[in-house]
Structure 1
Amino acid sequence: MQKLLTRTALATLALTIGSEAMATEWNVSLWGQRRAFTEHVERLAELVSERTNGEFTLNISYGGLSSNRENLDGISIGAFEMAQFCAGYHADKNPSITVLELPFLGVTSLEQEVALSMALYQHPAAVADLERWNATLLMPSPLPQYNLVGVGDAPTSLADFEGLTVRATGGIGAAMSTVGAVPTSMSATEVRQAMDSGVVRAVSFAPHAHMSFGTIENATWWTTNLNPGTVNCPVVVNSDALASLSDEEREVLLGAVDEALDHYVTYYNEQTMAAWGPALEERDITQVTFPEAEIAAFREAAADPAAAAWIEDNTARGLPAQELYDFVTGMIAEGN
């Protein structure tokens, strides 16, 4: 009887070990905390687990695996299987997708941002660009137009930005420099300290980030209609890890992307934006709206020079920059 029990126990253990060996676990590197910006990744993890009965799981880490500026490097060496990053954090590493960070492109909704990003992510030049990092672009983190939260006297005209230190990355930074601001690039997790210490006097973010990273806590003003642009922050996967999935697992992962993005857009539009106005009013933050004539002048001064410089710089890198720019602006012009 003892031998029979021992054999039964060993068989059970072997089945358990075999079952565990068959399960697939991916590590996912994010930063900060769970917020609107990460809701699609959270939903993707739920869907993947549900549709595989827990046999494929995404283990999400908020800063425990890598810093946000090094997530692409971590993907390249297989330190984790999935990560989120923002193109403007290291434009030299992913120049192809920074076309979506050019100022005043004219994107008007999160849905349009999703369509543009997903189309660009499949462009051969973007695919090849990220292949250098052993990365496959999975989905964007669509963000609305950025605006500024600042301390001190509220600007009454664009001339008041002269000499103002502003946290602004990518094309937004380039746009702000045309009105005399001094843009500084730093990651989101560094911003609150820089603002409190006076390193910057204003911060360019989307509403969710202003709330998540505390820039509104000591702020005195907010621009309602500057709208210089946004940033592009994709979720990528390690290409080898993607290839190593079973056909069923890969189908589940890729098949869940659209639903995860739909959840993200709904969450952002219905919850984040609904909380934004009250958050400003509770803190008695002055809302600054510039005359349309000033915004038009800002757009004229910033948009074309930034686009021309981007095309010249990235053509020199060997990218089909004009083609990428025409691809994006053509989609926008068609209303896509």
Structure 2
Amino acid sequence: MSNITAKLLATTIAATLATQAAATEWNVSTWGSRRAFTEHLHKIAELVSEKTGGAFTMNISYGGLSKNTENLDGISIGAFEMAQFCAGYHPDKNRAITVLELPFLGVSTLEEEVAVSHAIYDHPAVAEEMAQWNARMLMTSPMPQYNLVGTGEPRDELTEFDGMRVRATGGLGKAFSAVGGVPTSVTSSEAYQAMDSGVVDTVAFAQHAHLSFGTINQADWWTANLNPGTVNCPIVVNIDAYDSLPDDQRQALDESVDEAIAYYLENYGKLLQRWDEVLEEKGVQKVMITDDELAKFRQVAGQPLHDAWIQDMSARGLPAQELYDLVFSTLEKARASN
């Protein structure tokens, strides 16, 4: 072998090894099946791969890595590098962000949901609490206001919620409790079975979840305007995995968040546009609750639950009032910019 050939070979091997060393493969844990709620995961995976020339790739697993209620635990031990979870699954592990699950906050669009979520995620108290789980907030999974599907006669008056068994987590569960409902926090994957077997009478979900988990197929009616609140479901990354990324890959990840969220919003918007068609196709009655009944619900399950949250979280050492005020100042800013 000539010296030139040997040098060329050595250079090729060195370049190959360098490329292999810089290649990053992350495992991402979520649940259910691919749906509007997970589209930003697929988009961010596509974007980072494109921006790094395939050096940074992500494998998205739907339940193969962890149960949805254990994704934060998996992140904490480094079982995978990225995960999606919902605050209401384990409120004691992520107390600070439960402010976003309070009922009747008045968030009216997905864009507003993104704005308030990311403002809260950026608060030092949230970063500190998440760091206990070796987790770093990356982005939200914005969802519209939850509404009920149910069987039998429509429940369109507050008195009819008394004794109603409802699948609802977090602040939504507390809201229904306040008006006499009996919430159960079965996971989204278990909601269809809970409805089918009569464990619950009603299920509170966003539209995409009623479709993807099949609860709409059991429904006789859907509350179009109850809008009691929503759940907050962040995407987090393992801090060690994030910190060990080469600079260009970390930059590609950070810079792809806004693009992934924009794609999510566009995709979800299409689903919302055809929701009425879905109800008609499936023969589900659209129930409109009167302003008087809604006002009663807010009076019982709105501000009293907000005040209780502030008191409880302050007692636990969190800057609860500050977090609560941040939601409303962010909402004000988001509306002013529109």
- Shorter-chain TM-score bucket reads over 0.9
The one-letter code of the counterpart of 2:43 is: R
Which residue of structure 2 lines up, in the alignment, with residue 282 of structure 1? 281
Which residue of structure 1 lines up, in the alignment, with residue 107 of structure 2? 107
- Can you give the 5+ residue segments of structure 1 that lack an aligned partner in the other structure? none
The answer to whether the 8 Å contact 2:119/2:330 transfers is: no
Once the two structures are superposed, residues 260-290 of structure 1 have per-residue CA deviations (whole angstroms, 9 ceiling, x without a partner) of 0000011101x21123211111111111111
For residues 153-232 of structure 1, what are the structure 2 equivalents within 5 Å? 153-232=153-232
Answer yes or no: is 1:67 the counterpart of 2:72: no
Which residue of structure 1 lines up, in the alignment, with residue 20 of structure 2? 20
Q: Distance in 2 between matches of 1:256 and 1:42?
A: 11
1:13 Cα offset (Å) = 7.0
Once the two structures are superposed, residues 76-128 of structure 1 have per-residue CA deviations (whole angstroms, 9 ceiling, x without a partner) of 01110000000011000000000000000000111011111111111111111
1:11 Cα offset (Å) = 8.6
RMSD: 2.0
Which residue of structure 2 lines up, in the alignment, with residue 323 of structure 1? 322
Q: Distance in 1 between matches of 2:103 and 2:323?
A: 15
Q: Distance in 1 between matches of 2:184 and 2:217?
A: 21
Runs of 4+ off more than 6 Å? 5-14
The one-letter code of the counterpart of 2:60 is: I
* Greater displacement, 279-288 / 99-108: 279-288
1:314 Cα offset (Å) = 1.1
3-state SS of the aligned residue for 1:107? coil
Which residue of structure 2 lines up, in the alignment, with residue 55 of structure 1? 55
- Can you give the 5+ residue segments of structure 2 that lack an aligned partner in the other structure? none
Q: Distance in 2 between matches of 1:222 and 1:333?
A: 30
3-state SS of the aligned residue for 1:256? helix
The answer to whether the 8 Å contact 2:121/2:137 transfers is: yes
1:331 Cα offset (Å) = 2.3
Q: Distance in 2 between matches of 1:287 and 1:264?
A: 26
3-state SS of the aligned residue for 2:93? coil
Answer yes or no: is 1:260 the counterpart of 2:260: yes
- Mark the CA change 1:333 to 1:13 in structure 2 (over 3 Å): closer, same or farther: closer
Q: Distance in 2 between matches of 1:8 and 1:151?
A: 73
TM-score, structure 1 normalization: 0.94
1:335 Cα offset (Å) = 4.5
The one-letter code of the counterpart of 1:328 is: V
For residues 233-244 of structure 1, what are the structure 2 equivalents within 5 Å? 233-244=233-244
1:326 Cα offset (Å) = 1.4
3-state SS of the aligned residue for 1:116? helix
Which residue of structure 2 lines up, in the alignment, with residue 273 of structure 1? 272
* Greater displacement, 182-191 / 8-17: 8-17
The answer to whether the 8 Å contact 1:89/1:186 transfers is: no
Q: Distance in 2 between matches of 1:10 and 1:330?
A: 60
- Mark the CA change 1:114 to 1:7 in structure 2 (over 3 Å): closer, same or farther: same
* Greater displacement, 39-48 / 312-321: 312-321
* Number of equivalences: 333
- Mark the CA change 1:32 to 1:6 in structure 2 (over 3 Å): closer, same or farther: farther
3-state SS of the aligned residue for 1:296? helix
The one-letter code of the counterpart of 2:133 is: W
1:17 Cα offset (Å) = 5.2
Q: Distance in 2 between matches of 1:49 and 1:40?
A: 14
Which residue of structure 2 lines up, in the alignment, with residue 44 of structure 1? 44
The one-letter code of the counterpart of 2:195 is: M
Which residue of structure 1 lines up, in the alignment, with residue 248 of structure 2? 248
Q: Distance in 2 between matches of 1:285 and 1:68?
A: 29
How high is the sequence identity, in percent, across the aligned residues? 59
The one-letter code of the counterpart of 1:262 is: A
3-state SS of the aligned residue for 1:240? helix
3-state SS of the aligned residue for 1:108? coil
1:324 Cα offset (Å) = 1.0
* Greater displacement, 321-330 / 113-122: 321-330
Q: Distance in 2 between matches of 1:9 and 1:221?
A: 70
Q: Distance in 2 between matches of 1:17 and 1:328?
A: 48
The answer to whether the 8 Å contact 1:156/1:288 transfers is: yes
The one-letter code of the counterpart of 2:61 is: S
Which residue of structure 1 lines up, in the alignment, with residue 303 of structure 2? 304
The one-letter code of the counterpart of 2:144 is: P
3-state SS of the aligned residue for 1:65? coil
3-state SS of the aligned residue for 1:299? helix
Q: Distance in 1 between matches of 2:332 and 2:10?
A: 66
1:306 Cα offset (Å) = 0.8
1:211 Cα offset (Å) = 0.2
1:190 Cα offset (Å) = 0.9
The one-letter code of the counterpart of 1:332 is: L
The answer to whether the 8 Å contact 2:146/2:205 transfers is: yes
